[in-house]
Amino acid sequence: MAPYGKTTLPNGVRIVTGRMEGVKSASLIIAYNVGSRIEPAPIAGAAHFLEHMLFKGTSNRPDPMIISQEIESVGGILNAGTGRENTSYWAKVPGVHLALAFDVLADMMLNSTFDPDEMEKERKVIFEEIRAIQDIPEDLVHDVIDQLVWGDDPVGRDVAGTEETVANIDREAMVDFFLRNYGADRLVIAAGGDVQHDEVVALAEKYFGDLSVTINPHTNTLAKSDQNEKRIRLLTRDTEQAHLCIGFPALSYHDERRYVQSTIEAILSSGMSSRLFQEIREKRGLVYSVYGYFRSHEDIGQGVIYAGTDTERVNETITAIMGELKKLRDEPVPEEELERTKTLRKGRLLMGLEDSRSVASWVGSQESTYGYIETPEEMMVHIDSVTTDQVQELANDLIKEEMMNLVLIGPYTRERDYLPLLTLD
């Protein structure tokens, strides 16, 4: 892969590219530092609703079907996603059709009509999306652990909002949200694969060179972690299987210890040789699925461990998970295991950059998050520098009994039955 390229237009739009020799596809990502965290509470879900509406017709392509047809007619893929701090729209096409991808995505970003009829149809679609999650406990439990850890803070809200708040978003509110927040200073254009940096810059300048900066934009409110006692939330459901998440506050993505935190995540949950899988599934046979992850934000983060188990084995599963956290906190990670984890992480990193979209996502997310692009080689230096002492020190900072949170979905009614299980003694 050739060195990454970066250019900033006079209006602040940033263009980053990662060329891949021998690859025939090109991926283009239009990414904004705009997500659900900046939304005023009465219109929570606006960023997600807006994401849907940008596919619903432009002044140049009034029929929504034309938008997808033009990309798919060349074998391409078109999609988007909304998070708590960013929203991205992307297309993957054969490299010779990069200009088409630019034209379609730019048209969506700059010329969407927000047709009232389409808006009402899409509102109903989002209502069904919100309702559907209630029927999928293995997904719902992850939303509820966010709510339990962060309470009323926007970082704990469902990205899609609620039926009540989505109902509040009329066309005027949506257009206002769009105009206030989707400006040049929040835009990163990322491309990977069969691309030339100068061509991408020229296309970006053509379509986005006159884009204005944000005026009076919404901004994130800083989240606070002031928890000082364990928390439990039960969702009583007549399910065949119990679904649970144990969560606790963790590091932001700006904390230099994030490389150590990622190592902890890998020790606990990367692959079938990880501690959670080996101890809780293979040795004890308690679960079919168990894994952990860290989710970092600008100012705060969260660690989560999920498990799905038989309704009669919940207590044993919670105890086993807490035992693994205690072990990580109290016992130094053996050097052999640490080195094996580092090698795994470096291998996964390199294999994850074999696709044009993954490269575009890499350069785009690095630029959006940090304002610079860290190469895989630089990342691997950080991975190699993590020590056993650093792992144990951070584990002691993060894994504290009074910071533990448990969400449990299943045929359970008494929270007090599970509070004693969240122990690290």
- The answer to whether 354 is a known catalytic residue is no
User: How many angstroms separate the CA atoms of 172 and 386, rounded?
Assistant: 51
Pairing of strands 14-19, 187-193: parallel
Contact 4, 17 (CB under 8 A): yes
The candidate with the shortest Cα–Cα distance to 34, out of 420, 368, 388, is: 368
User: How many angstroms separate the CA atoms of 150 and 350, rounded?
Assistant: 34
The candidate with the shortest Cα–Cα distance to 43, out of 139, 222, 178, 142, is: 178
Beta bridge partners of 305: 246, 292
**Catalytic one among 21, 39, 51, 164?**
51
Position 248: which residue type? F
Q: Which residue has the tokens 């002031």?
A: 226
Helix/strand/coil (H/E/C) assignment for every residue in the chain: CCCCEEEECCCCCEEEEEECCCCCEEEEEEEECCCHHHCCHHHCCHHHHHHHHCCCCECCCCCHHHHHHHHHCCCCEEEEEECCCCEEEEEEEEHHHHHHHHHHHHHHHHHECCCHHHHHHHHHHHHHHHHHHCCCHHHHHHHHHHHHHHCCCHHHCCCCCCHHHHHHCCHHHHHHHHHHHCCHHHEEEEEEECCCHHHHHHHHHHHHCCCCCCCCCCCCCCCCCCCCCCEEEEEECCCCEEEEEEEEEECCCCCCCHHHHHHHHHHHHCCCCCHHHHHHHHHCCCEEEEEEEEEECCCCEEEEEEEEEEHHHHHHHHHHHHHHHHHHHHCCCCHHHHHHHHHHHHHHHHHCCCCHHHHHHHHHHHHHHHCCCCCHHHHHHHHHHCCHHHHHHHHHHHCCHHHCEEEEEECCCCHHHCHHHCCCC
Backbone angles phi, psi at 15, to 5 degrees: -120, 125
Beta bridge partners of 30: 89, 189
Catalytic residues: 51
